[in-house]
Chain A
Amino acid sequence: MSPHRLTIHEAHDLLSKREVSAVELVESVLAHIDGCDSNIRAYITVTPEVALEQARRADERLASGEAGPLTGIPVTIKDNMCTKGVRTTCGSRILENFVPPYSATIVDKLFGEGAVLVGKANMDEFAMGSSTEYSAFFPTHNPWDTTRVPGGSSGGSAAAVAADETLFALGSDTGGSIRQPASLCGVVGFKPTYGRVSRYGLIAFASSLDQIGPLTKDVRDCALVMNALAFHDALDSTSANEATPDYTSYLTDDLSGVVVGVPAEYFAAGLDKGVAERVRQAVARLAELGAEIREISMPHEQYVVATYFLTSWAEASANLARYDGLKYGLSAPDAQDIGEAQSKARGRGFGREVKRRIMLGTYALSSGYYEAYYLKAQKVRTLIKEDFDRAFAEGVDVIVGPTSPIVAFGIGEKVDDPLEMYLADLYTIPANLAGLPCISVPCGLHEGLPVGFQIMGRPFDEGTVLRVAHAYEQSTELHLQRPELGN
């Protein structure tokens, strides 16, 4: 048996029956990381001491009968969520040696549930990127083909789950950073409704868009993790005060009564034909499961990327103003005065992509351009959100399409063409702009590489999204396909 290959619910069954211990489970994961991570490079930091200590305590809980569904389950956390006493770099030189004095709310919550920290996952610097090539340290490789990118920015999280280097991972999603890498690596990735999961202790990128969510091996695991992540947190003023259902209660095999909207605009030019074919097959499968399929229109889809650019960059330029080399992070001891110290620390500590976005955001917010750029984008955001409001008001329960227009691309292929890289996010961005819950599930391979099927729902209706995703997944064997690791 190879325990690291298990899903959360499979491992929980074995842990509960004491057929495997939490220590054995995490040792299996750590040994597998030792064996294959030099090819994948999913991890910035691996934490064996923390993991073994937490696993021993989980075994005590399991023995005393006080275990929950996540007790003893290994987890990997994207390196932009603070972990007390464990280095948190955000993929950046400016935070290369930052050891947080506190943990993010959701990290504390998972530890409280008995989850076991395996390590911190690689990511594009400050979560800005779609390939994990903008990590200041090294790129992560796609487990399906190590010459290709895993997607991004949560590329380390997605690759770790796909390569069985963990049981589940947390990612963050500002414009697709959970779903796009999940799609490219053939795993399940879920961005909950804006406000559904606390962001206290998440290193901020674009505050009106950022959301934390799980990357898992199947939809049942996703529901189990969401049961732990969804609650109100007084430390995050955007955290929603909404009732949290048991998400596993939505997991049925039947979709009768569910209305599925399929926007014509989600099958536009630039969509790979092989990807389109897999996604069309997934839509047909939903119909076979009893769902009603309805053609709908998202007339402002062509504006989502530009709207996202201006919104996210402006917010990022403000959020990243805090990195000044004075309170923490890289500093410039050779500077003569405080202004020079800040400029030098930021100039040395930030990478090319982060600088580009800070510059664009600063420009869009600067005197004389605010109305033409940032305010304009906020108004178009209203129009984009209204497209969704209209579809839901007309009775559509979920909206589906491709997660990414293309399968995993080659490392180095798009890194010098920022605009082309950004355009790969056009189908994932709308859920962030409108704040909607949205999942990517595997829907087959094209040229040997995974394709993702995206399902979006009403605000705070995570349950219906998970229901559709689960019914689809269980009707196929696509989620059981795993990459062959060359080690």
Chain B
Amino acid sequence: MKISRAEVEHIANLARLELSEDEIEQLESDLSQILEYVDQLNELDTREVLPTAHVVGEGDVLREDATRPSLPSEDVLSNAPRAEEGYFRVHAVLPKEER
């Protein structure tokens, strides 16, 4: 499986990952090599096999819908790069030209 530069850039965008020029080149070759390795799974016929997501299946776990104390908001915000009046402050959601 050969991964193109355009595919690397597309995946990086999906993953919200800014990459340097060197990283893009390195990932082109790493991803191609590693995906070629995993292609060996295609040797196995799995048409009749059910997938396993979790091995020790408890199924859905429910609890009583009761209120309980949560962390104080000042503790939650203590690691925030930017906080204001009890909220996280984030960058503009719309790019400048759309505002």
Contact = CB atoms under 8 A, between A and B. Distances in A.
Interface string B63-99: 1000000010001101111100000101111111000
Given A310-B38, A346-B16, A346-B18, A379 B56 contact: no
Contacts of B50: 379, 382
A194 B55 contact: yes
Contacts of B82: 331, 333
Given A306-B41, A309-B34, A337-B92, A379 B55 contact: no
A303 interface: yes
A385 B55 contact: yes
Contact of B17 (A102, A337, A347): A347
Interface stretch (A36-44, A49-57, A357-365, A391-399): A357-365
A195 B91 contact: no
**Residue from B14, B17, B26, B40 having most chain A Cβ neighbours under 10 A:** B17
A356 B81 contact: no
Contacts of B61: 237
B1 to A, nearest CB: 10
Contacts of B37: 305-306, 309, 419
A382 B14 CA distance: 29
Contacts of A101: 71, 75-76, 78-79
Contacts of B96: 336-337
Nearest to A388: B55
A359 B52 contact: no
User: A interface, how many residues as a size bin?
Assistant: 35 or more
A335 interface: yes
B25 interface: no
Interface of B: 3, 7-8, 11-20, 23, 26-27, 30-31, 33-35, 37-38, 40-42, 44, 46, 49-56, 58, 61, 63, 71, 75-76, 78-82, 88, 90-96
Given A326-B90, A327-B80, A338-B92, A376 B27 contact: no
Contacts of B14: 362, 366
A321 to B, nearest CB: 8
Contacts of B91: 335-338, 340-341
A377 B41 contact: yes
27 contacts: A195-B58, A234-B63, A238-B54, A321-B15, A329-B81, A337-B95, A341-B90, A346-B17, A348-B18, A355-B17, A355-B23, A359-B12, A359-B15, A360-B34, A360-B35, A363-B35, A373-B38, A379-B46, A379-B49, A379-B50, A382-B52, A383-B49, A419-B33, A419-B34, A434-B55, A435-B55, A459-B56
B56 A327 contact: no
Contacts of A297: none
Contacts of A333: 81-82
B56 to A, nearest CB: 5
Contacts of B19: 347, 355
Contacts of A377: 38, 41
Contacts of A335: 91
Interface in A394-419: 418-419
A34 B78 CA distance: 31
A98 B25 CA distance: 32
A157 to B, nearest CB: 24
Contacts of A310: 38, 41
A244 to B, nearest CB: 15
B41 A343 contact: no
B64 to A, nearest CB: 10
Nearest to A309: B38
B17 to A, nearest CB: 5
Given A331-B82, A385-B55, A337 B46 contact: no
**Residue from B20, B33, B34 having most chain A Cβ neighbours under 10 A:** B34
Please provide the 3 A-B residue pairs with the shortest distance between their CB atoms, ordered closest to farther.
A347-B18, A435-B55, A378-B51
A381 B51 contact: yes
B41 to A, nearest CB: 5
A114 to B, nearest CB: 25
A459 B91 CA distance: 47
Contacts of A337: 91-96
A327 B79 contact: yes
A433 B55 contact: yes
**Residue from B15, B26, B94, B95 having most chain A Cβ neighbours under 10 A:** B15
Contact of B38 (A97, A306, A356): A306
**Residue from B27, B78, B81, B93 having most chain A Cβ neighbours under 10 A:** B81
A380 interface: yes
A317 B14 CA distance: 10
A358 B90 contact: no
B16 A339 contact: yes
A99 B77 CA distance: 11
A428 interface: no
A21 B35 CA distance: 56
A240 interface: yes
